[in-house]
Structure 1
Amino acid sequence: MTAPHIGRGRAGRERLRFDGWIAGIGTSSGTRVVLGHWVRSPFGPFTDVMLERKDGHRVLLAPSAQTAHFVAGTYVFDEVRVVPVGVEADRGECTVAAPPLDLRFVTGRRGPVGLLLRAVPGPLAARPAWAVLVAPAAGALLGVRTHGSAGAGRYEWYGAKDLLPVTEARAVYEGEDLGSLAPVEPAVRFGFGSTPRRPCLVSVTTTVALEESRQAVPVR
């Protein structure tokens, strides 16, 4: 049985759950891209793109006003655009069309970290308590945080279930070729969310606890 995507924690805070994957990609131009592809969420399936330019300008590309409002309330951006976001993935190759961004990347074979994550039962990996327990190892191995405070009084937990290296990527933004694949550095500055320095795709369950004084996000 699939766990519900809306729940309530012990402190009474509304919790929203997002199941999908996150890809973190750096480019030789200095632009870094973080793609979130959510197969199941309180908003239905959707994909959003967080992009930070070399000069530090942070952009959110989201497919609807509702998702843009939620993501921009959780993270920090200098610019928010509502645009169609299309994703096609097949046999390790992913193509993303989110005007003004065109992105293509390829994933390789999973390594030891991916094998270790896949060995953890999915229901356990999705629990916020597990994200807290593995936080020290995630910081040491990948340089990322698995839980912490976000915007608008929210709190997040990231439960990773798999990791694949990104071995190839090409991106064009506003007609500019962003260059070849590179490490995700400097680290992106969207807020709590982070991504490993080495480009990768991580299967994840993200749980977001809303601020107690705020009403739950309406779900249709």
Structure 2
Amino acid sequence: MTQHRFRGQIAGVGSASGVRVVVGRWLDTPLGEFADAMVETAAGHRVLLAPRQEVADFIAATYTFDEVRLEPFTVTAADGRWQVRSRSLTLDLALGGRTLLGMALRAVPSRTASSPAWCTLTDPVARLVLRGVRTRGTAGGNRREYYGATDAHRIGAGTGRFDGADLGALADVDPPCRFGFSSTPKRPAVTSVVTTVRGPARG
């Protein structure tokens, strides 16, 4: 079995226009540091925005998209704000305090919370409590994926544009995104995660 671990943060937001966005800010991965976004329009068109080919290839092999775009992509995180910039997408997000879920996650030791065994144990709870959220599932190519969340902060405000159109007011991620086995929490939030992808060894 091969195992790949991605440590970083995921911002999940909805909008009055019906566009839902999941932004990944990945600080420690086998592919180096990078940021990306998965966008689902109100019509259900799913778009991956990735900064380079190897990142796009890995993500597209893990999730499902109708379109993949390669373009420069940056996330600047400072002073409780995220600035997301690419040719297709701009977002300005203001983070709030730690959520109740974040408080619960912080009570679990990070090493435990990020382990596939813990993700397997918590999956039934996530399914029941957080609509659309899973902590384990299939990841394409006979692989399994595990989401180990370690913290969560609410997003209190946000503005943005996708393909030149204003997204409108910040809203819940509703309906859940359809990129893979799991969506983000319904309420806009930034979640700290360790994502583990396991699959058959290549030989």
Indicate the SS of the match to 1:192: coil
Indicate the SS of the match to 2:179: coil
Q: Hey, what does 1:135 align to over in structure 2?
A: 123
Tell me the distance in 2 between the aligned counterparts of 1:214 and 1:54: 39
The answer to whether the Cα contact below 8 Å between 2:2 and 2:201 also exists between their aligned partners in 1 is no
Percent pairwise identity = 48
Residue 213 of structure 1 and its aligned partner are, at CA, apart by 5.9
Q: Which amino acid aligns with 2:116?
A: P
Question: What per-residue deviation string (whole Å, max 9, x for no partner) do you get for residues 86-138 of structure 1?
Answer: 11111211000011111111111113211110111111111100101111222
Map 1:9-158; keep pairs closer than 5 Å.
Answer: 13-143=1-131, 144-158=133-147
Q: Which amino acid aligns with 1:95?
A: Q
The answer to whether structure 1 residue 199 and structure 2 residue 188 are counterparts is: yes
- TM-score w.r.t. structure 1 length? 0.89
Indicate the SS of the match to 1:34: strand
Aligned length: 202
- TM-score w.r.t. structure 2 length? 0.96
Indicate the SS of the match to 2:97: coil
Residue 193 of structure 1 and its aligned partner are, at CA, apart by 3.0
Question: What per-residue deviation string (whole Å, max 9, x for no partner) do you get for residues 172-204 of structure 1?
Answer: 111110101011011111121311111111100
Q: Which amino acid aligns with 1:35?
A: V
Q: Hey, what does 1:167 align to over in structure 2?
A: 156
User: Considering only aligned residues, what root-mean-square deviation do their CA atoms show, in Å?
Assistant: 1.2
Indicate the SS of the match to 1:17: strand
Tell me the distance in 1 between the aligned counterparts of 2:23 and 2:140: 19
Return the match for 1:180 from 169, 179, 186. Answer: 169
The answer to whether the Cα contact below 8 Å between 1:76 and 1:151 also exists between their aligned partners in 2 is no
Q: Which amino acid aligns with 1:160?
A: A
Tell me the distance in 2 between the aligned counterparts of 1:154 and 1:99: 32
Tell me the distance in 2 between the aligned counterparts of 1:152 and 1:37: 24
The answer to whether the Cα contact below 8 Å between 1:113 and 1:163 also exists between their aligned partners in 2 is yes
Q: Which ranges of 4 or more aligned residues in structure 1 deviate by more than 3 Å?
A: none
Residue 42 of structure 1 and its aligned partner are, at CA, apart by 0.1
Residue 214 of structure 1 and its aligned partner are, at CA, apart by 4.1
Tell me the distance in 1 between the aligned counterparts of 2:80 and 2:125: 27
Q: More deviation in 110-119 or 23-32?
A: 110-119
The answer to whether the Cα contact below 8 Å between 1:19 and 1:205 also exists between their aligned partners in 2 is yes
Q: Which runs of 5+ in 1 are unaligned?
A: 1-12, 216-220
